[in-house]
Amino acid sequence: SAVISQKPSRDICQRGTSLTIQCQVDSQVTMMFWYRQQPGQSLTLIATANQGSEATYESGFVIDKFPISRPNLTFSTLTVSNMSPEDSSIYLCSVTPEQGFGDTQYFGPGTRLTVL
Amino acid sequence: GQQVMQIPQYQHVQEGEDFTTYCNSSTTLSNIQWYKQRPGGHPVFLIQLVKSGEVKKQKRLTFQFGEAKKNSSLHITATQTTDVGTYFCAGHASGGSYIPTFGRGTSLIVHP
């Protein structure tokens, strides 16, 4: 398993500003992901954070809005840019420690974002 | 693309009653995972099923994987208030996939 921390745990932001969320893992992991979960909804994958290269974004998500960094195998950041109230959500980092297909995902505690 | 349907969306039960949530995939899966998210918490891995027809138990929880590897269920016997939360299934497409497709989840509400 992996122990994951996220910062901040929650924030209230003004429209038009940006917020960077950090995800730290206690061990090196192959795959890191960023999800969004709106209230009462399922998990929507934003992107796969790739170490040393550009993130792989899912349909409906773009780099300009959600820039992602992954400088090493234990750390990643997600920025929510030019925020609007529609960006209010829980943002979750997850990892798969192993390298194979179909591996278990371990989730961080999440960042609860409210945009006014 | 692959879709994973999960029903029901919500389930209210009296403490002591049983509970079942069902998951159906549009395509054959290599495995299926179940996660539980407590209110205000994050999803936590419960179990993974890999084999056709597989059944696994964790105390009062019974997990099944269909023979065709396209459906799965989670059954809780004699629910307790500690079972409250949202249960998600997540399926990996057969042929190799790093990223599962999550169902929309079933929220279980247990009334004491």
Q: Is A93 exposed, middle or buried (0-12, 13-18, 19+ CB in 10 A)?
A: buried
- The CATH classification of domain A20-104, taken from the options 2.60.40.10, 3.40.920.10, 3.50.50.60, 1.10.1270.20: 2.60.40.10
Q: What CA–CA distance (Å, rounded) separates A37 from A6?
A: 15
The pair of structure tokens assigned to A15 is 């429209």
Tell me the chain A residues in contact with residue B103 when contact means C-beta distances shorter than 8 Å: 42
Nearest to A107 among B43, B92, B98 (CB): B43
Contact B29, B5 (CB under 8 A): no
For β-strands B10-14 and B106-111, DSSP reports them as parallel
Select from B87, B89, B99 the residue whose CB has the most chain A CBs within 10 Å, as the one to mutate to test that interface: B99
Q: With an 8 Å Cβ cutoff, is B91 touching chain A?
A: no
Q: With an 8 Å Cβ cutoff, is B39 touching chain A?
A: no
What residue of A is the nearest CA neighbor of B96?
A: A101
Q: What CA–CA distance (Å, rounded) separates A92 from A49?
A: 13
Output phi, psi for A85, to 5 deg. -55, -25
Q: Where are the domains of chain A?
A: 20-104
Residue-wise pLDDT tens digits, B10-34: 999 999 999 999 999 999 999 999 9
Residue-wise pLDDT tens digits, B22-70: 999 999 999 999 999 999 999 999 999 999 999 999 999 999 999 999 9
According to the model, what pLDDT value does residue B24 have? 97
Sign of CA dihedral B25, B26, B31, B33: negative
According to the model, what pLDDT value does residue A99 have? 61
Residue-wise pLDDT tens digits, A36-59: 999 888 899 999 998 888 899 999
SS3 B28: coil
DSSP string, A9-62: SEEEE-TT--EEEEEEESS--SEEEEEEE-TT---EEEEEEPTTS--EEPTT--
SS3 B78: coil
Q: With an 8 Å Cβ cutoff, is A73 touching chain B?
A: no
The reply to whether residue B100 touches residue A102, judged by beta carbons under 8 angstroms, is: yes
Low-confidence ranges of chain A (pLDDT < 50): none
Domains of chain B, each with CATH number or no CATH: 4-111 (2.60.40.10)
